[in-house]
A and B are shown apart, each in its own frame.
Chain A
Amino acid sequence: MKSSQRLALLFLLPSFLFIALFSLFPIIESLRLSFYRMILTLPWLGQKIVGWENYSDLLTDPVALASTRTTLIFIGVTIPLELFFGLGMALVLNEAFRGRGLLRAVVLIPWAIPTVVASQMWRFIFNDRYGLVNFVLFGADTSRYLAPLADPHLALAAIIIAEIWKTTPFAALIILAGLQSIPDDLYEAASVDGATPWQKFRHVTLPLLKPALLLALLFRTIDSLRVFDLVYVMTQGGPADATNVLQFYGYKKTFGEGMIGYGSAIAVTVFFMSLLLALAYLRAFKASRVQGQAP
């Protein structure tokens, strides 16, 4: 028993070292730096411990607060829509029909394209002179063409649309896996009891799909909290800071302005936001599993 335990530990060691080096170390380092005032371009100020100052500055920084609001709007709109469309896609892909294998592969394409490439593509689609969106809406009447990326309200919407397009397939994939784990005899039993398709969906599919939905929710929320590439390529945070999401603001502070302490505080805040969300979801996830097993 003991030697097998030791062997197990030995097998775990490489991945532990890998995680420690590439995840744990940067997280701890960011946490440490967030308590310093450290400005790269002003080295004579030195590296001074300032305690919670960066965090208290963050709470009173109107740009950071606006940026948090933008991020929350982004999450609040993208996640429900992604899950809704993802569920629809998964239900279709779960049916047996010709070419299903092909369609399952095709549907994944948006998710497989590197985000930077997809962002460039969406930047062209939303272009104010030759963008596809304008062409579809107004055809050759160029005088009515919109400039979505130049309008503070439309710019965020444009990024939200690009994100939904890009990541819905991922949600669909997880939900599809959940659908496939529902045993057929439950549906047969429901049919025997005379359930309509809607009743089957409402009382069989949905409750049993809860763990998969929660899992998709967890992954997608954490991921969209860290949205960066779309903003970097499509708008650089503008116009009027309308797309200045938290991660992009943190990036600008750290790499653009060289405010290492303050930038780290932003990164750590985003980290703890996703950690809290993850813990909350995991609790809900466990609860749903227990419920699901009870009957």
Chain B
Amino acid sequence: MSIGKTIPGVLGFLLGLHCAVVHAQTTELRFVTWRSEAPQVWNQGIADFERQNPGVKVVSEIGPQSSTQLHDLLAQKLKNRDTRLDVFVMDVIWPAEFASAGWALPLDRYFTAAERQQFLKAPIQANQYRGEIFGVPLFIDAGMLYYRKDLLEKHRLPPPRTWPDLVEAAKTVLAREQDPGLVGFSAQFKQYEGLVCNMMEYILGNGGALWDENRMTSALDRPAALAAMRFVRDRIIGEIAHRGVLAYEEPESLALFTEGRAIFHRNWPYAWTVANDRERSKIAGKIGMAPLPGFSPGRGVATLGGWQLGISRFSTQPDLAWRFAAFMSGKEMQKRVALAAGRAPTRIALYDDPQIKKKVPQLTSFLPTFKQAVPRPTTPVYVPLSNIMQRYFSSVLALPDTDIDARAAWAARDMNRVLDLLRDRQTP
């Protein structure tokens, strides 16, 4: 508690002092963000905004890359009602929580219904909570399957359409290649938010759910979810994926793929651009991209991800903050980020843009997949639920002798306790 309060306070004080001395004349807009995959484009955008708004200086604070760690940083600032925070990036799972806690400003008076029509539906829904909207979508993510086209063609294998097919295909290639440095599959299985995204794809792909949103009870202990867990533990981890994936987030798992050391890879759409960049990847031009497999053909599920811009309720300049958020999520910026980093836009019109069609065709051809991506359930208690799920998933995958049924029952009981907190809410 003491550190949480004093250190940011002292730092903020020093920073404020420094800024007060240096830029006495300018208005500062404070923006908490991650490091963009296309920093030049991102910084150019900020510079353009500053040029269009003379006297405004955007002060970016680069937070951690990990969603979980960035969440905690923002939560700490917002909990302390820090007025030196105007605009921030928001993961798709945060709007409900930030809205419920009274941290994010409702944007309805700025973000009109007509304007919202310009966006894909799923990310708009993810930004709504109890009839108000709290964020403007920057880009959309959906889990995708990447594969080594050259290796599959060499061994005359089609891209797999089910998870069991993927396991078989990986085993066939591994057996024929006899390359000790090659693994079958890389994805994100570390105990963090990405683990929920990955496991949800197996569980929902098998007809299960994380929790039942009508009855507000956990669904992890039901047969469909249990079978999916068994499949990942017994057929993927330690079989076609080495156990190192249990410590992998996106960058590590993608690095394995771009080094040419993984046959299949699960990641967000930006991975296509990285893996096809000759400077960063040994397998440029040798890869394919497909919707994620299911447990029967065509029944695959992709987790909806993506980032939004939110405005702090404690900002002293919400109008300016909105101008900035609108600019950064505008057509021009989304297009530039899509072209440079391969991030899928949230504005529908951009999918018909000739330049985007030509330079990042993978985005336009997978628009149906993005549209079908399934969001994680919206709730203000998402973080505690996610922590319980992460603990459960990681325990089952990392400890192969665990009793899945017992662990699932335990996780379900913990989740139900958290979900019960929502029951007695009276509608205002």
Residues of A with Cβ closer than 8 Å to B?
Answer: 22-23, 26-27, 29-30, 33, 39-45, 62-63, 128-129, 141-143, 145, 147, 149-152, 155, 232, 235-242, 251-252, 254-259, 264, 267
Nearest CB in chain A: distance from B176 CB, A: 17
List 18 A-B pairs, Cβ < 8 Å.
A30-B1, A40-B79, A42-B425, A45-B421, A129-B256, A142-B181, A143-B181, A147-B247, A236-B66, A240-B191, A240-B397, A241-B394, A252-B387, A254-B1, A255-B4, A255-B79, A257-B383, A258-B97
CB contacts under 8 Å to A, within B70-122, are: 71-72, 75-76, 79, 97, 100-102
Q: A149 — which chain B residues lie within 8 A by C-beta?
A: 247
Q: Given the complex of chains A and B, what is the CA–CA distance between A143 and B245 in angstroms?
A: 14
Which of B256, B394, B422 has its CB near the most chain A CB atoms (within 10 A)?
A: B394
A179 to chain B, nearest CB (A): 34
Shortest beta-carbon distance from A247 to chain B in Å: 10
Whether the pair B2, A256 counts as a contact (CB closer than 8 A) is: no
Q: How far is the CA of A63 from the CA of B397 in the complex (A)?
A: 18
* B244 engages A257 (CB within 8 Å): no
Q: Is B180 in the interface zone, CB < 8 Å from A?
A: yes
Other-chain residue from A30, A142, A155, A258 in contact with B180 (beta carbon distance below 8 A): A142
Determine the distance from Cα of A280 to Cα of B67 in the docked complex, in whole angstroms.
42
Pairwise interchain contact B387-A147, C-beta atoms closer than 8 A: no
- Asked if A239 and B101 make an inter-chain contact with CB atoms under 8 angstroms apart, the answer reads no
Nearest B residue to A30, CB-CB: B1
Chain B residues with CB below 8 A from A63, complex form = 391
Nearest-CB residue, chain B, relative to A44: B425
* Given contact pairs A41-B100, A149-B247, A255-B76, A236 touches B191 in the complex (Cβ within 8 A): yes
| Interface: B398 (CB within 8 A) | yes
**Which residues does B use to contact A, with CB under 8 Å?**
1-2, 4-6, 66, 68-69, 71-72, 75-76, 79, 97, 100-102, 180-181, 190-192, 242-248, 255-256, 380-381, 383-384, 387, 390-391, 394-395, 397-399, 410, 421-422, 425-426
| B247 engages A41 (CB within 8 Å) | no
Q: How far is the CA of A256 from the CA of B97 in the complex (A)?
A: 11
Provide the residues of chain A in CB contact with B5, threshold 8 Å.
Answer: 26
B68 adjacent to A143 (CB under 8 Å): no
Are B180 and A143 in contact, with the CB atoms below 8 A? yes
Q: Which 9 A-B pairs have the closest CB atoms?
A: A238-B191, A26-B2, A147-B244, A143-B180, A150-B246, A128-B244, A150-B247, A240-B398, A239-B398
- Whether A147 pairs with B246 at a CB distance below 8 angstroms is yes
Question: Measured between alpha carbons, how far is A150 from B191 in the docked complex, in Å?
Answer: 10
Q: With the chains together, A40 CA to B384 CA distance in Å?
A: 12
- In the complex, what's the smallest C-beta–C-beta distance from B7 to chain A, in angstroms? 11
Total A-B pairs, Cβ < 8 A: 134
Contact A150 B398 (CB under 8 A): yes
Instruction: Indicate which residue in B180, B192, B242, B410 contacts A236 across the interface (CB closer than 8 Å).
Output: B192
Partner among A22, A141, A241, A256 whose Cβ is within 8 Å of the Cβ of B395: A241
B68 touches A152 (CB 8 A): no
CA distance A241 to B394 in the complex (A): 8
Given contacts A22-B2, A29-B1, A257-B384, contact A239 B190 (CB under 8 A): yes
Q: Are A256 and B72 in contact (CB under 8 A)?
A: yes
Distance in angstroms from A159 CB to nearest chain B CB is 13
Task: Establish whether residues A147 and B243, one from each chain, have CB atoms under 8 Å apart when the complex forms.
Answer: yes
Given contacts A147-B243, A239-B398, contact A258 B68 (CB under 8 A): no
B255 contacts across to A, CB distance below 8 A: 129
Question: Once the chains bind, are A236 and B68 in contact (CB under 8 Å)?
Answer: yes
Min CB–CB distance B414 → chain A (angstroms): 8
Do A43 and B398 touch across chains, with their CB atoms under 8 A apart? Answer: no
The minimal Cβ–Cβ distance linking A50 to chain B, given in whole angstroms, is: 13
Q: Which residues in B have their C-beta under 8 angstroms from that of A147? A: 242-244, 246-247
Kindly list chain A residues whose C-beta atoms are within 8 Å of the C-beta of B2: 22-23, 26-27, 30
Pick the most buried of A26, A151, A256: most chain B CB atoms within 10 A of its CB. Answer: A256
A238: B residues at CB distance < 8 A: 190-192, 246-247, 390, 394, 398
In the complex the two chains form, what is the Cα distance from A258 to B380 in whole Å?
10
Looking across the interface, which residue of chain A has its beta carbon closest to that of B428?
A44
- In angstroms, how far is the closest chain B Cβ from the Cβ of A248? 11
Closest chain B residue to A237, Cβ basis = B191
Cβ contacts under 8 Å, B425 to chain A: 42, 44
Task: Tell whether, in the assembled complex, residue B75 and residue A151 are in contact, meaning their CB atoms are under 8 Å apart.
Answer: no
Residues of B within 8 A of A258 (CB): 75, 79, 97, 101, 383
Chain A residue at minimal CB-CB distance from B396? A240
Minimum CB–CB distance for A173 against chain B, Å: 24
A152 touches B398 (CB 8 A): yes
Contact of A43 among B100, B243, B248 (CB under 8 A): B100
B354 CB to nearest chain A CB (Å): 41
Contacting residues, chain A, for B68 (C-beta < 8 A): 236, 256
A44-B425, A129-B256, A152-B398 as given contacts; A239 in contact with B247, CB under 8 Å: yes
- A42-B421, A152-B399, A264-B1 known; A241 and B244 CB under 8 Å? no
Expressed in whole angstroms, the minimum distance between the Cβ of B345 and any Cβ of chain A is 30
Chain B residues with CB under 8 Å of A26's CB are 1-2, 5-6
Docked CA distance A241–B101 (Å): 28
Please tell me if the beta carbons of A256 and B75 are within 8 angstroms of each other in the complex.
Answer: yes
A43 to B381, CA, bound (A): 12
Complex: chain A residue closest to B418, CB-CB: A257
* Cα A96 to Cα B244 with chains together (Å): 47
Q: Are the CB atoms of A256 and B1 closer together than 8 Å?
A: no
B243 touches A150 (CB 8 A): yes
Chain A residues near B245: list those with CB within 8 A.
150
CB atoms of B191 and A239 under 8 A apart = yes
| Interface contact B191-A241, CB-CB below 8 Å | yes
Residues of A within 8 A of B399 (CB): 152, 240
Which residues of chain B come closer than 8 Å to A240, judged between CB atoms? Answer: 191, 391, 394-395, 397-399
Complex Cα–Cα for A39 and B100 (A): 11
Residue of A nearest to B382 (CB): A41
Complex Cα spacing A155 to B191, Å: 12
